[in-house]
A and B are shown apart, each in its own frame.
Chain A
């Protein structure tokens, strides 16, 4: 069972959506995240930089068919923080806090 732990860094809505998407994936390309979140390149870079600085996200730069691509993934620390944050949110709304990103989806609210 995940211990509820509210995380101020993850909580802002755009960042929460970004982390939730990364939690559901092994990795995601910068372009995919930018398009899904409707952010500019610089706005997404800032969000990723903040999460990377906290050790929640790791980015990998690589060349693919002559284009430079950035791939982001959640680190174990980021996954743990995300699980704790979701558990804290569930506790606030009075739901069972037992939730992990590797298993069941959060209950509908």
Chain B
């Protein structure tokens, strides 16, 4: 059987689309982002209302729990239980993108809290966390996808 160049080109386009569909599955589970948002709120509340020792303990616990969970998820290869994206397709930059995104969001939260505090607002940590947590919970997957595209991860 002979295959015409246009038929071969169409087959290659189908291959490319299939690969892109799988690559589109790279990311972290929605539950991860909701967990992060809940942690954000809890740390914000403890930062304003809790004693200093509790703030330290909560921050360490949150960091440790995140490290444990993230070590399995940060490569972004298993966002759903439907498939596991290959390492070659997922690339190696996703963990760096996630960590960079989280650091930027922490900086945003701290900046907001400092601004609110300077403005005389009561409970600045809670308010700052309440502003950033929905961004993490609702927008985490989309922000990550946009950042991955930006850095071609």
Contact = CB atoms under 8 A, between A and B. Distances in A.
Most buried by B among A8, A64, A93, A94: A93
A25 B86 contact: yes
Contacts of B12: 86, 89-90, 93, 106-107, 109
B11 A89 contact: yes
B123 to A, nearest CB: 41
A24 B85 contact: yes
B80 interface: yes
Contacts of B88: 101-103
A108 interface: yes
Nearest to B23: A24
B3 interface: yes
Given A92-B3, A101-B88, A26 B77 contact: yes
A49 interface: no
Interface string B1-43: 1011100110111111111111100000000000000000000
Interface of B: 1, 3-5, 8-9, 11-23, 77, 80-89
Interface of A: 6, 8, 11, 13, 16-18, 20-21, 23-29, 31-32, 36, 64, 86, 89-90, 92-94, 101-103, 105-109
